[in-house]
Structure 1
Amino acid sequence: MAVEDSAKAAAIVAVVVVVVVVVVVVVVVVIVVVVEVVVVELAVVVVVVVMVVVEVVIVVVVVVVVVVVELVVVVVVVVVVVVVLVVVVVIVVVIVVIAVVTIVCSSLKPLINIAKNIFIEKKKKSYNHPF
């Protein structure tokens, strides 16, 4: 009986060891599969988040560049318009000054001739007098 008891005990120990090994293997496999799935899902989430951030950065950069270029173009156009207006105003002022000087000179010409005649008459009279 002692041999039978030890054979039974050995068989029970062998079955328990096999069951424990199978349970440990199953648990390890389940943990590895779960960790792998979680890691893969996290990696996918990280990749998606990075892609979204990169797209947002690209959109922001493009918008900023477009806005800056538009502002520069507007400033250049405004400066050109102001310069053209200043040139036009200067040309108009020069034309008005020339016209005014011409009108004043032409209206003063008879007065200058009268004054010249008076001066010449006085000079002629002064030659006739001793003083």
Structure 2
Amino acid sequence: MSKNTQVVVVRVPVVVVVVVVVVVVLVVLVVVVVVLVIIVVVVVIVVVVVVVVIVAGAAVVVVVAVVVVVVVVVRVPVVVVVVVVVVVLVVVVVVVVVVVVVVVVVVEIVIVKHRTQQ
């Protein structure tokens, strides 16, 4: 085996090197920002779902207790109690949906403003 290896030296202009480095850095930054945005959105969704589940559980306990007290103690007809409970639950669901939509929209606006400022 002969040791006639040749080393080829390629001269690359400094401008090309700078452009490549800048493009690589920008791509990495964009990927990092996108990943962070996804993480923030997922965390917000998880927190909202957990809060909704906790509030819904507490609401069910309160509703059952109130219905039992009203039907047994106050002797209000069951039909009236059921209608009132259904109306209250519909209002609560609408309020929760509106709150969730507002939170998601606000988070998205903050993320977009943060992204455009950089």
1:108 offset after TM fit, Å?
4.0
Under a length normalisation based on structure 1, what TM-score does the superposition of the two structures give?
0.46
Deviations 1:19-46 (A, max 9, x none): xxxxxxxxxxxxxxxxxxxxxxxx95x5
In the alignment, structure 1 segments of 5+ residues that lack a partner are: 1-42, 112-131
Q: Flag the structure with larger Rg.
A: 1
The CA distance in 1 between the partners of 2:60 and 2:69, in whole Å, is 14
Residue in structure 2 matched with residue 7 of structure 1 by the alignment: none
Higher RCO (C-alpha 8 Å, min separation 6): 2
1:89 matched to 2:84: no
Offset, 1:65: 0.4
Structure 2 counterpart of 1:69: 35
| Deviating 4+ runs (over 2 angstroms) | none
Number of corresponding residues: 68
Distance 1:99 1:83 in 2: 24
Written as runs of structure 1 = structure 2, the 5 A alignment for 1:52-63 is 52-63=18-29
Alpha-carbon distance in structure 2 between the residues aligned to 1:63 and 1:57: 10
Residue identity opposite 2:48 in structure 1: V
Aligned residues with identical type, % of pairs: 57
- 1:104 corresponds to which of 70, 91, 95: 70
Corresponding residue of 1:80: 46
Unaligned runs of 5+ in 2: 1-9, 77-118
